[in-house]
Amino acid sequence: MDTKHIKNDVDPKFLKKHQESLYDALEDKHTTVEILDDDDPLNTKMVLNMGPQHPATHGVLRLILQLNGELIEKAKLDIGYLHRGIEKIAENKTYQEFMPYTDRTDYLSPYSNNVALCTAVEKIANVEVPERAHYIRMIGCELARISSHLLWLGTMVQDTGAVSFFLWTFREREKIYDIFDYIGGHRFTISHARIGGVANDLTDDALAMIKDFINDFPQELKDFHGLLDRNRIFFDRNRGVGVLPTERALEIGATGPTLRGSGYAYDIRDFEPYARYDEVDFEIPTRLEGDNLARYYVRMEEMHESIRIIRQCLDKLPKGPVRTDNAKQAYPSKDEVYYSMEGMIHDFMMTDTGICPPEGSESFHCIEAPKGELGYFIQSDGTGHPWRLGIKSPSYANLQALEDMLDGEMVADTVIMIGGVDPVMGDSDK
């Protein structure tokens, strides 16, 4: 097959212009086209279309790979199959109304997304958050991190061939879902954070469950390590695969565990501490190799650190309110709403108008989500709706790094590299 004129051969029928421009881009990804392409007697060149409906691409990710035998010569990613226009929706909602939508961006760690939005709004509108709420948020964020990393672990190990592992990590995730159920009343899309604090305090049951979990989980993590660390198949399939050197990772804008696996300790919890991360003690796991195995170690150690952070938060958990008492900035508690006139008026005003940041102000706030730097940029026109709400999503940055990483790798490693980068299409497609 003559790969210089791919689009003549494939002749797409559906969304013709889109498909053709994609094949065009594949043809001139690098400016120098090898002359060698004309002469291919063994017919080893082909263009492989992976996805968007492919069980191993972790969502609706589409890859177009130009292969020479088993080698990937050029790769292009086509994303946007899960684009729902979240940023456009945000412009037509109050800040609090928009929060449930953030649950559905990075749907593997909803708690982090809620906290990211709330902290961004609190920053632009100058809302003070009570001390206890900060600690509850940190506990929630770290639980979300463990939950997200467990899903990554299960699916990534499944990609390398170990199917039963998926069930064991999901057993642990199930415990975290149960904890979230007791914390906020939802198992998955929890929406527990509120602007100015959190929705409700942790109950004794929830606290007991969290304590149980952090006591049991390190042993499970040790078992996972025992199964994988010296596993020949796992090791050989991950070592030296998808190497991203440090300079390259910074240049291409990788973030989160992908960047830390490549040797740069860039973690927002340390870089620009939010909540009370400056008061707890934790390490930033970093590896220098930059391959898939390094990313595995980084994430496994992050789960250890998360347990450490939760333990410190539980020790330090101060007493006090969980939401700011200023009715102009946050929803009043349900007790006030049901039993006092003012409470009801304030509740109505918050729902109808919402919190109004000063006119013309703009701010950016980011947190360290499980996938990397998750930021919300808000421009306000003084009304209760944002004028522009931009999301800096970590998966988007990492997918760009993946496109760069895929060139020159073997086609059999593609799926493992996708697993190692751990993209969530809801996050990258907005």
Least Å from the CB of residue 430 to another protein: 8
Query: Using CA atoms, how far apart are residues 14 and 353, in angstroms rounded to an integer?
Result: 44
User: β-strands 62-68, 45-50: how paired?
Assistant: antiparallel
Closest to another protein by CB, 44 vs 92, is 92
Single out the segment in contact with another protein by CB under 8 A; choices: 85-93, 164-172, 297-305, 331-339: 85-93
User: β-strands 372-380, 386-392: how paired?
Assistant: antiparallel
Query: Using CA atoms, how far apart are residues 422 and 109, in angstroms rounded to an integer?
Result: 13
Question: Tokens representing 19?
Answer: 């498909």
Cα-based distances in Å from 14 to 17, 23, 271: 9, 14, 46
- Residue 123: partners with Cβ closer than 8 Å, 6 or more residues away: 363, 365
Least Å from the CB of residue 390 to another protein: 4
- Considering only residues 250, 284, 327, 356, which one is a binding residue for another protein as defined by CB under 8 A? 250
- Considering only residues 52, 100, 218, 253, which one is a binding residue for another protein as defined by CB under 8 A? 253
Closest to another protein by CB, 183 vs 397, is 397
2 closest CA partner among 66, 64, 63, 50: 66
Single out the segment in contact with another protein by CB under 8 A; choices: 19-27, 95-103, 191-199, 225-233: 19-27
Give yes or no for residue 27 binding another protein (CB under 8 A): no
DSSP bridge partners of 12: none
Closest to another protein by CB, 74 vs 175, is 74
- Considering only residues 8, 21, 203, 215, which one is a binding residue for another protein as defined by CB under 8 A? 21
Give yes or no for residue 17 binding another protein (CB under 8 A): yes
Least Å from the CB of residue 413 to another protein: 22
Least Å from the CB of residue 322 to another protein: 24
- Considering only residues 146, 209, 397, 411, which one is a binding residue for another protein as defined by CB under 8 A? 397
- Considering only residues 52, 181, 361, 410, which one is a binding residue for another protein as defined by CB under 8 A? 361
Give yes or no for residue 373 binding another protein (CB under 8 A): yes
Cα-based distances in Å from 167 to 111, 119, 174, 387: 23, 35, 10, 44
- Quote the radius of gyration of the chain (alpha carbons, Å): 23
Give yes or no for residue 104 binding another protein (CB under 8 A): no
Closest to another protein by CB, 14 vs 339, is 14
Question: Tokens representing 162?
Answer: 């170990």
DSSP helix/strand/coil, 297: helix
Question: Tokens representing 402?
Answer: 């993946």
DSSP helix/strand/coil, 35: helix
Query: Using CA atoms, how far apart are residues 424 and 430, in angstroms rounded to an integer?
Result: 10
- Considering only residues 1, 54, 71, 87, which one is a binding residue for another protein as defined by CB under 8 A? 87
Closest to another protein by CB, 105 vs 158, is 105
Interactions with another protein, residue window 256-295 (CB under 8 A): 264, 266, 271-272
Single out the segment in contact with another protein by CB under 8 A; choices: 32-40, 102-110, 355-363, 414-422: 355-363
Whether a cis peptide bond, with omega within 30° of 0, leads into 110 is: no
Give yes or no for residue 23 binding another protein (CB under 8 A): no
- Indicate left, alpha or beta for 407 from its phi (over 0: left) and psi (-120 to 50: alpha): beta
- The count of residues interacting with another protein (CB under 8 A) is 51
Give yes or no for residue 83 binding another protein (CB under 8 A): yes
CB atoms within 10 A of CB 158: 19
- Indicate the burial class of 352 (C-beta count within 10 angstroms; 0-12, 13-18, 19 or more): exposed
What residues make contact with another protein under the rule CB under 8 A?
A: 14-18, 20-22, 25, 29, 79-80, 83, 85, 87-89, 92, 123-124, 126, 250-253, 255, 264, 266, 271-272, 360-364, 366, 373, 375, 377, 379, 387-388, 390, 392, 396-397, 399-400, 404, 429-430
